[in-house]
Chains A and B, each alone.
Chain A
Amino acid sequence: MGYQYIDHTADLGIKVTSPDIKGLFEEAALAVVKIMGGAAKHKKISLSVTVDGLDRVDTLVRWLQEIIYLIAVKDIRIADLEITYIDDTRLEALVKGIYSHSGLSTEIKAVTYHNLEIKKRHDNLYEVAIIFDT
Chain B
Amino acid sequence: MEALKIERIDPYRLKIFKTPPMRTWGIVYANKVIEAGLEKDEALKQVANVACLPGIIGPSIAMPDIHWGYGFPIGGVAAFSLQDGVISPGGVGYDINCGIRCICTGLSIEEILPIKEKLLGEVFHRVPAGLGARHKRFKLSQKELKEIMIKGALWAVKKGFGTYDDLEAHEDYGSIPGADPDMVSGRACERGLPEVGTLGSGNHFIEIDVVDKIMDKKIARMFSLFKDQILIQVHTGSRGFGHQICDDYIRIMLSAGSRYNIYLPDRQLACAPIDTKEAKSYLGAMAAAANFAFANREMITYLIRETFEDLFGKSWENLGLRLLYDCCHNIAKIESIPWKGKSIEACIHRKGATRALPSGDARLPLRFKDTGQPVLIPGDMGRASFILVAGDNAKETFFSACHGAGRLLSRREAKRRAKGRSVFDELSKKEIYAIAASKATLAEEMPESYKDVSDVVDTISGAGVAKVIAKLRPIGMIKG
Contacts and interface: CB of A to CB of B under 8 A. Distances in A.
Contact of B254 (A54, A105, A134): A54
Q: Is the interface of B mostly helix, strand, loop or mixed?
A: mixed
Contacts of B475: none
Given A12-B410, A133-B70, A133-B95, 16 more contacts: A9-B407, A9-B410, A10-B68, A10-B69, A10-B410, A11-B70, A72-B191, A104-B131, A104-B132, A105-B440, A106-B440, A109-B95, A112-B71, A113-B266, A113-B267, A113-B268
Interface in A19-58: 36, 54, 57-58
Interface in B56-108: 67-71, 74, 90, 93-95
A40 to B, nearest CB: 16
By size class, the interface of chain B is 35 or more
A110 B201 CA distance: 14
Contacts of B250: 113
A122 B132 CA distance: 41
A112 B131 contact: no
A114 interface: yes
Contacts of B197: none
A73 B52 CA distance: 37
A113 B411 CA distance: 20
Given A72-B240, A107-B131, A107-B132, A10 B407 contact: yes
B438 A105 contact: yes
B409 interface: yes
B408 interface: yes
Nearest to B41: A9
B174 interface: no
Interface residues of A, number: 31
Nearest to B191: A73
A17 interface: no
A105 B407 contact: no
A35 B88 CA distance: 28
Interface string A63-75: 0010001001100
For chain A, what secondary structure do more than half of its interface residues adopt (helix, strand, loop), or is it mixed? loop
Contacts of B407: 9-10
A109 B68 CA distance: 17
Interface in B240-260: 240, 243, 246-247, 250-251, 254-255
Contact of B243 (A7, A106, A109): A109
Which of A104, A105, A107 neighbours the largest number of chain B CB atoms within 10 Å of its CB?
Answer: A107
Contacts of B409: 9
A103 B131 contact: yes
B349 to A, nearest CB: 16
Contacts of B255: 54
A116 interface: yes
Contacts of B408: 9
Interface string B250-287: 11001100000000001110100000000000000000
